[in-house]
Each structure stands twice: as C-alpha cells, then as structure tokens.
Amino acid sequence: MTATRVLVTAATIGWARIAGQAATGYAASVIGCDAEAAVERELSATETPDGRPGVSLLFFGFSRDALQKAVVNRVAQCVLTCATTACFNGLTGDEGRSIRVGGMLRYFGDGWQISKLLGGKRYWRMPTMDGEFLCEDVFGTVKGVGGGNFLILGETQSLTLAAAEAAVAAVRAVPGVIAPFPGGVVRSGSKVGSKYKKLKASTNDAYCPTLRGVVASALPEGVNAVYEVVIDGLDLACVEKATWEGMLAASRCPGVKQLTAGNYGGKLGPHHIHLAKLLAGP
C-alpha cells in the first residue's frame, strides 16, 4: 500500500488529539473505507515544525491517487475545521512520489490564501475565523505494508481481550506502525471471499467459537474467544518488529492458549510474515 505521515499541531495537545482522532475516523480497512489510518504517536513541542504540541498520523491507501483524495478530504473536513491546527508533511520524498495537500486546500482561501517558500518547502496560509490555517503544499509517500496480522486465542472473552489490549500497547510503541481498527483490536476477523458473490470478505468461520462443530474449526479445546491485531507499517521491517512485540506481550497474559495468524495464500499481496520463522529469529 502507499503510505504517508501527516503531522498535526495545535495550541494544545488536547486540540491536536481531537483533530487526529477525527481525521483518522472510519479508516479501519480499505475493504470498506477510503484509507486505513490511525494516530501513530503524540509529539512534543520540540518535535514539530512550528514548536507546538501535536500528533503524527499515518494513512495507507491502495494507490497514490486514492491516498491523496482520502488525505485531502480528511484534512479539509477534520483538521482545517479544528481550532488552532496546522498541518505538515512527516515524510521525505521526491516530487514524483508525493501527494498534494495544501496545494489542493488553498482554494478555501477564496483568493486570500498566501504561498510562502521556506527552506525549500512551500506552505499555504489560509485565513480562518480564529486566525489562519497553515498547511504544507506536498506530502511525501512511501510504499508501505498493510494487513500484517496475528490472532490471539484465549480461554474467555475478558482474558483474551486483556491480552489483545496488551498486544496493541506493545505494537503502538514501535515507530512507523499503526493498528487501524477500533482500539487496535479486531473481533470480526475475515477470510477472503464469501458465499455471497458481491462480498470480497466474510467472517473467518474457522475461528468463531459459536460455529465449532458445524464448520472445519481451527480452535483448540478450551478456546472460547479470538481477537485479531492488524498492523500497517511504513516498511516490512517495522511490521515484523511490531508483530514480534505484540505477540510477546500477548504471550505473557493469563488465559492465552495459542497465537497464530490469518493465512491468505498470497491472495492479499507479495509480503509474507511467517510467525515460526519470525519467532526463531534474533
């Protein structure tokens, strides 16, 4: 997938969080959303271009064109509209691999927008009712990796969910990755295809406890709940690192019976993360 990093700053970390949460809403899976996105981490005033607190957001799309459309729409509706915010590119990249954000949003200024070139970067300043909105012109992109995953099989719903929460906390501590689903945890793990021709994906029945006995179940005895953690990253190495850290955290929790992953036979893309090989590595 194509990925970009968006830095949002504001007068307070509270307003930066609000903008980040709004801009990354409804972005769990490109099966039904325009992008996969989440807050990567919070930023101190010493880490941002304008010396204010902020958040780092990662966005993933099927193509550069699709990603630009999603990011422009989300920044327009959720960051430009949010009190005191500004928006900056968080990735370096050449012009041929960039997307235009501020350059698309400048028209909101209705002719009053101003372009500034600082340090070789172009910024757009658009007047707003609380001052102005500053947005960098172009944002770099990279070829990222989407859809890394592992499954946590546990004795009870509560114990398995606690393990999933611990896993997500460990995943989020790895730079360059996000867990885009709500709270980073997926209850509705899916398989490729469906008995209904219009659906690209459907419930992963082999891991549904209520279907044990009527399908070819993959659940060992004593497993009564399964949660999935899906990971998107800026490169394969950080997805592998996050997978390792997440599985390690889950394995330390009570009630966890098994760790595994969805295996789609190469149907979802070229990258394969073999868990046994990953665990045997350094």
Looking at the chain, the whole-number percentage of residues with pLDDT higher than 90 is 86
Query: How many domains, in total, are found in the chain?
Result: 2
Please choose, from the candidates 78, 91, 80, 66, the residue with its C-alpha nearest in 3D space to the C-alpha of residue 25: 78
Does one domain contain both 94 and 155?
no
Does one domain contain both 122 and 154?
no
Tell whether the torsion through CA atoms of 281, 217, 146 and 267 is positive or negative: positive
- Domain end residue (candidates: 111, 142, 173): 142
- Domain end residue (candidates: 108, 142, 176): 142
Q: Has residue 281 got a pLDDT over 80?
A: no
Q: Has residue 279 got a pLDDT over 90?
A: no
- DSSP 8-state assignment for residue 212: B
Does one domain contain both 132 and 159?
no
Per-residue pLDDT tens digits for 167-191: 999 999 999 999 999 999 999 999 8
Tell whether the torsion through CA atoms of 206, 229, 89 and 11 is positive or negative: positive
Does one domain contain both 91 and 106?
yes
Please choose, from the candidates 97, 241, 78, the residue with its C-alpha nearest in 3D space to the C-alpha of residue 175: 241
Q: 115: domain CATH number?
A: 3.30.70.520
Per-residue pLDDT tens digits for 41-85: 999 999 999 999 999 999 999 999 999 999 999 999 999 999 999
E strand map for the chain: 2-9, 36-43, 54-61, 86-89, 98-100, 114-118, 121-128, 131-136, 138-140, 142-143, 145-154, 177-178, 190-192, 201-203, 225-233, 256-260
**Does residue 32 or residue 152 have the better pLDDT?**
152
Lookup result for tokens 């325009």: 34
Give the domain range for residue 48: 2-142
Q: Has residue 273 got a pLDDT over 80?
A: yes
- Domain end residue (candidates: 142, 177, 206): 142
Count of Cβ atoms closer than 10 Å to residue 97 Cβ = 16
pLDDT band at 196 (very low <50, low <70, confident <90, very high): very high
Rg of the chain taking only CA atoms, in angstroms: 20
pLDDT attached to residue 93: 65
Lookup result for tokens 């490729």: 192
Q: Has residue 23 got a pLDDT over 90?
A: yes
pLDDT band at 92 (very low <50, low <70, confident <90, very high): confident
Does one domain contain both 100 and 195?
no
Segments in the chain forming alpha helices (H): 13-23, 64-74, 102-105, 157-172, 236-251, 275-280
pLDDT band at 109 (very low <50, low <70, confident <90, very high): very high
pLDDT attached to residue 94: 60
Q: Note whether 260 and 150 are within 8 A (CB).
A: yes
Burial 139-171 (b: 16+ CB within 10 A, else e): bbbbebbbbbbbbbbbeeeebbbbbbbbbbebb
Amino acid identity, position 236? L
What's the rounded mean pLDDT across residues 12-28? 98
pTM: 0.95
What's the rounded mean pLDDT across residues 223-241? 97
Does one domain contain both 123 and 189?
no
Does one domain contain both 183 and 236?
yes
Q: Note whether 8 and 74 are within 8 A (CB).
A: no
pLDDT attached to residue 95: 58
Q: Note whether 7 and 123 are within 8 A (CB).
A: no
